[in-house]
Amino acid sequence: MTKTVTQNDLVRYVYGEVSPEEKLSVEVQKICDTEIDESLEDMMHLKSVMDTIVYQPQTSSLEAILKYSKQKRQSLQTV
């Protein structure tokens, strides 16, 4: 018998934090319950949009970090 799925379970499902049994429960109830199906669809869609919002650091920051790493290495070698 599948466990009743809560809204918190749906959030965990969307973010991949469910056990295989819980995953199955969600997927079964998704078929039978249109409200759960719609909630999941909305969450997944929003997640996919948020996934595309990314920012990149400037090249100068990356270079500064790599330079620090090399300098740190050198300072450790001279000790």
Partner 1 sequence: MITVNNKITDAQLIKMYKAGNEVAFAELLARYKTKIYTTIYMIVKDKYIAEDLFQETFIKVINKLTSGTYNEEGKFSMWVSRIAHNLAIDHFRKKKRYPTILAEDGSNIFNTLDFTEDSIESKRVKEDTHAALKQLIQTLPESQREVLIMRHYADMSFKEIAEATGVSINTALGRMRYALINLRKKFKETEFAYDQNSYPK
State the residue for tokens 């078929």.
Answer: 31
Minimum Å distance from CB 10 to partner 1? 8
Minimum Å distance from CB 67 to partner 1? 10
Q: Is 46 in the site for partner 1 (CB under 8 A)?
A: yes
Closest by CA position to 30, among listed 53, 17, 14, 52: 14
Site string for partner 1, 23-42 (x = CB under 8 A): ------------------xx
Q: DSSP string spanning 10-55?
A: HHHHHTT---HHHHHHHHHHHHH-HHHHHHHHHHHHHHHHHHT---
Which positions touch partner 1 (CB under 8 A)?
A: 7-8, 10-12, 15, 17, 41-50, 52-58, 60-62, 64-66, 68-70, 72-73, 76
